[in-house]
Amino acid sequence: MDKNIKEALVDCVNINLPKDLNDFDKVKCNIHNGKRIFWFYQEDLDFFKNEGLNPRGWKPHSGIVVATPYCGETPVGGELSDYIIISVDKYPCEKCYPEIYWIAFNKLVGDSDLIEIYGEENI
């Protein structure tokens, strides 16, 4: 797990992530320290659409926003976008071993298969 956290911290200061700033359009909620967020990928959308369901209601992936020491002061309203990592605690069990792992927010946003990131207020 230490390797995973170190990798996430390195990724969160990588100015080349995400490669396309339009990727931030996938974020449909405010991001602040301690907030639980949810997201789904194209394969989740395809599966739920095939079942006649909305992936938002099933929340296939979730995690907690964690500000890093690099974050510094947050703008008015406390919304963050840079230098944060996500403690991922929920994902489809067939994907990998059940454990908490960490991912840089900018790496998650930049994933080409990611469809949307949303909060409770969007469900």
Residue ranges covered by each domain of the chain: 2-16+25-122
Predicted local distance difference test score (pLDDT) of residue 123: 58
- Indicate whether 72 pLDDT > 60: no
- C-alpha 14: how far from chain center: 16
User: DSSP state, 103?
Assistant: E
For residue 103, what are the β-bridge partners? Answer: 86
Confidence of residue 61 (pLDDT cuts 50, 70, 90): very high
Note the pTM of the prediction, 2 decimals. 0.83
Among 28-32, 92-96, 111-115, which is the least confidently predicted range? Answer: 92-96
